[in-house]
Amino acid sequence: LIAVADIIRSSVRRVDVAVRYGGEEFVILLPETEKEMAVAVAERIRSKVESRIFRYEDEEVRTSISLGVAQLSGEKDFTSEALVKRADMALYRSKHGGRNRVSTAD
């Protein structure tokens, strides 16, 4: 989890905010970033995690991550919880679509 957090931190700008959200989930806020660029950032993070060899108790371990991307919408996101819920729905679409992928919210 710490190594994944390091990958995320190294993949975002100083103005971006990356925080742990729940057990094994993270939220990354990318201010003034269009959806296409946010997807590119998410894909870069996904690719770095997939290609990294992690060490756990003297064993090499590979893992992957699933990501959901949502862009703030004045028509849909009347609260921050609504935005997070849309991103979470995109995340679950990634998980149920085969994992190790990036999906976007409607």
- Whose structure tokens read 């849909």? 76
% of the chain exceeding 90 in pLDDT: 92
At residue 22, does pLDDT exceed 90?
no
Q: Which residues are catalytic?
A: 24
User: What pLDDT, in 10s, does the model give residues 71-80?
Assistant: 999 899 999 9
% of the chain exceeding 70 in pLDDT: 100
User: What pLDDT, in 10s, does the model give residues 82-105?
Assistant: 999 999 999 999 999 999 999 999
At residue 23, does pLDDT exceed 90?
no
- Give the list of residues 6+ apart from residue 35 with CB closer than 8 angstroms, or none: 69, 71, 104
